[in-house]
Copies of this chain bind each other. A is one copy, B any other.
Amino acid sequence: MDSTLSPLARPFPSLPDIAGVTLRVARARYKDWDRADLTLIELAEGSAVAGVFTRNVCCSSEVELGREQVRLGRARAVVVNAGNSNAFTGYRGREAVEAIMAQVAAHYGCQPSDVFVSSTGVIGVPLPKDKATAGVAAALAAPRTSWEEAALTIGTTDTFAKGAGASAMLGAVRIELAGIVKGSGMIAPDMATMLGYIATDAAVAPAFLQDMLSKANAESFSCVTVDGDTSTSDTVLLLATGQADNRPLESWDSPGADAFYAALRQVCLELAQLVVRDGEGASKFIAIRVTGAESDASARRIGLAVANSPLVKTAIAGEDANWGRVVMAVGKAGEPADRDKLSIGFGGIWAARDGVPLADYDEAPVAAHLKGGEVSVEIDLGLGDGRATVWTCDLTHGYISINADYRS
């Protein structure tokens, strides 16, 4: 973990144990550091898995393999390496991943395809197979540990441990969800990785688990951005041990499916927002609320165009209610917009409505809102019912310092 805590950091929450999940960590020493950097998530036999992965076409072997494995719907263990992303490392990188999968499979007596591997850190350096296998052996023999310890261990340049939990009643059965995530934009000195792992004791059929994760992802992890740069390793896995005594969820019609989804969505949203709160150099947490778009998808694309605009992000860093830059970013999004129906506000106060600045616009309360650590931008397109909220952080000297001032 980085020494300078993000000003937007949140304390690690109290998370429940998840029946059928055992966490262990070890020191593989992927870098010259004295900290645990290998995490092992052991899952009870019969656990289901769903996953979402980066769309970057230059992804790592871990992502390529994981995408295939997740189709089988079964997981027995997850290994997360921190300090080396193993991306752009060709066949040697792939060999290290396959060695880890074989080693863990032999230990648990499962298929290698039941063992998921993620890696995060420096790019272009093949994951050292000897360090990996020694680290895995140490983890397999390690005592069980906490979600917070696991969250710290999967982190690289993160400045704080990130976790979220929720519970839901499926009929008379209470189920638990606990998740951890790492990431703070594309990570200096090399390549970013947003990795997330969410476990539940609920019994859920793999295909429906994937449906729910894909839907929750679209409303959470896919609605945050730090710098618009897409990692080569992004992975979120949802692991369901089925140890709770609920009737298995098989479709949206299953009793309790809506309650489970609401809890899952909440955990995903909290984890996604925690990544933004640890955005490189972030000093403000920004919610961009888009309404009146032609569709929800259009609203989300407009929100992301605004969230990724360097000029909007620097204006907010400067506590400047520069709604003109928001207009510019809306206009460049490539989505339907009508300048003369467009309204822009900050902190719930409109600065411009229907294409013109408000004559009685009072900047004082807006200026006060922008001085805080939590900022909102409202955009109404005046075209339809489409809406979306996107979260991002501001662009500061801290981002430049982290990414330009230090050599890798």
Q: Decide: A318 and B407 in contact? CB cutoff 8 A.
A: yes
Interfacial chain B residues near A327, Cβ < 8 Å: 58, 87-88, 123, 191, 232
Q: Decide: A325 and B400 in contact? CB cutoff 8 A.
A: no
Using known A-B contacts A191-B325, A322-B408, determine if residue A230 contacts B331 with beta carbons closer than 8 Å: yes
Q: Decide: B403 and A186 in contact? CB cutoff 8 A.
A: no
Q: Decide: B231 and A328 in contact? CB cutoff 8 A.
A: yes
Chain A: residues with Cβ within 8 Å of the partner, total of 66
Main secondary structure of the interface of A (DSSP, over half): loop
In the complex, A251 has a CB within 8 A of chain B: no
Of residues 286 through 342 on chain A, the ones whose CB sits less than 8 Å from some CB of chain B are 308-311, 314-315, 317-320, 322-325, 327-332, 337-340, 342
Stretch at the interface among A16-24, A167-175, A266-274, A350-358: A350-358
In the complex, A90 has a CB within 8 A of chain B: yes
In the complex, A108 has a CB within 8 A of chain B: no
In the complex, A33 has a CB within 8 A of chain B: no
A200 → B minimal CB distance (Å): 31
Stretch at the interface among A96-104, A146-154, A254-262, A391-399: A391-399
A190-208 interface mask toward B, CB cutoff 8 Å, 1 = contact, 0 = none? 1110000000000000000
Q: Decide: A357 and B186 in contact? CB cutoff 8 A.
A: no
Copies of this chain in the oligomer: 2
A100 → B minimal CB distance (Å): 20
Q: Which of B57, B231, B317 contacts A339 (CB 8 A)?
A: B57
Q: Decide: A404 and B314 in contact? CB cutoff 8 A.
A: yes
In the complex, A105 has a CB within 8 A of chain B: no
Using known A-B contacts A88-B357, A311-B403, A403-B314, determine if residue A124 contacts B352 with beta carbons closer than 8 Å: yes
A380 → B minimal CB distance (Å): 14
Of residues 163 through 182 on chain A, the ones whose CB sits less than 8 Å from some CB of chain B are none
The docked-state distance in angstroms from the alpha carbon of A357 to that of B90 is 9
Interfacial chain B residues near A386, Cβ < 8 Å: none
Q: Decide: A328 and B56 in contact? CB cutoff 8 A.
A: yes
Q: Decide: A88 and B355 in contact? CB cutoff 8 A.
A: yes
In the complex, A227 has a CB within 8 A of chain B: yes
In the complex, A362 has a CB within 8 A of chain B: no
Q: A318-B407, A320-B404, A320-B407 are in contact. List 4 more A-B contacts (CB 8 A).
A: A88-B339, A88-B352, A89-B356, A190-B324
